[in-house]
Structure 1
Amino acid sequence: MAVHKFILDDTFDETLYTLIGIHCSLEDYRLAYLINQYLGITLTRKSSDLDFNKGQVSYSIYEWEDHNQLITWNLVSNICKTQELKIRNYSSLFDTQEKITKTFHLLPEHKTVNYFLKIESEFSFKKEKYILDSILKIPQVVTAYSIDSGQLKSKDNLIFK
């Protein structure tokens, strides 16, 4: 009896999505509201943030599932700042505590990006350009651009399930 062997390529690992980097100084909830207004979508905050390093680092995430077109939209913060107290022991009368702020990035290769808009669907160039133009119309957004997900080293951080 012949043995048949199926070899599955990495095609199932790669989901098709569009990734847009957004530079702005807005709070996450305000940006989500403005994107909802300009794109006509309904991003809402997920009940739990993205957690990394066993809960020490978390990123805010907003999601909208368009069931009509089978598209999932995610707006996620790229920057997480944490503070910790470090006690300095001097051989003097006063011991001091120092606050240290550490900054973590969801995608370290794009440290200047404040937020990412991930759209899980394959769009035509015209549709992607329309989305970018709509985001750029938001007065508080400095710039927004498409990011090639094939060039990302830490693309595993973009799996939100």
Structure 2
Amino acid sequence: MAAVHKLVLDDFLEDNFILLAIHSPLEPYRLAYELNKILHIQLKYHKQLDAYDLYEYEDEKSQILWNLINNKTINSLEEKQKPSTLFQQETNTIKYLVPEYKKTDYFIKISDSVIAVDNIISKIKAIPQIITTFAIATDTLKSKNNLIFY
């Protein structure tokens, strides 16, 4: 009888980070600008991940990686022409990066778990267009793997 070996990959995907949720009507580029101003960081547009705008800043001195990403994207889909209608209809579907937080507009992911979160949250709340911001416990987050950007 051959020995059976089982690999558990969950240990390799462990990524410790702070996750902040932001409710704001601002466009992503405008929010990045406001965050740069108030937090003294330099978020820059990095790339688009499946229609989500990703902004990134790597603080080489402190070895902290900051990511700003929107939670919602709107996909427009054309329905097939139905026999009972004369025209095609276009419908919009909303896709969420983290479906557990559908009311959240943006997430800030900070790769350091020892940073002063309360100080950062109070600074973000000082931005006039921010409705609210709060920290999310990542250990219970079901869609945690959606926040791995590499």
Is the TM value for this pair above 0.5?
Answer: yes
Give structure 2 stretches of 5+ with no counterpart.
1-6
Structure 1, unpaired ranges of 5+ = 1-6, 52-57
Q: CA deviation at 1:11?
A: 5.1
How many residue pairs match? The answer is: 144
CA distance in 2, matches of 1:157, 1:142: 24
1:48-87 residue CA offsets vs partner (Å, 9 max, x unmatched) = 3112xxxxxx211100000000000000000010112224
Deviation at 1:131, TM superposition (A): 0.4
| 1:80 and 2:70 aligned | no
1:147 aligns with 2:136: yes
1:142 to partner: Cα distance: 0.2
Contact 1:87 1:96 in 2 (8 A): no
> Could you tell me which amino acid in structure 1 is paired with residue 68 of structure 2?
L
Contact 1:87 1:95 in 2 (8 A): no
- Radius of gyration: which is bigger? 1
The amino acid that maps onto 1:128 is V
Runs of 4 or more, structure 1, over 6 Å off, are none
Given candidates 104, 112, 121, the residue that maps to 1:113 is 104
Letter in 1 for 2:53: S
User: 1:55 corresponds to which residue?
Assistant: none
Scaled by the length of structure 2, what TM-score is found? Answer: 0.89
CA shift, 1:88, in A, is 2.7
The alignment's C-alpha RMSD in Å is: 1.9
Q: What TM-score do the two structures reach when normalised by structure 1?
A: 0.83
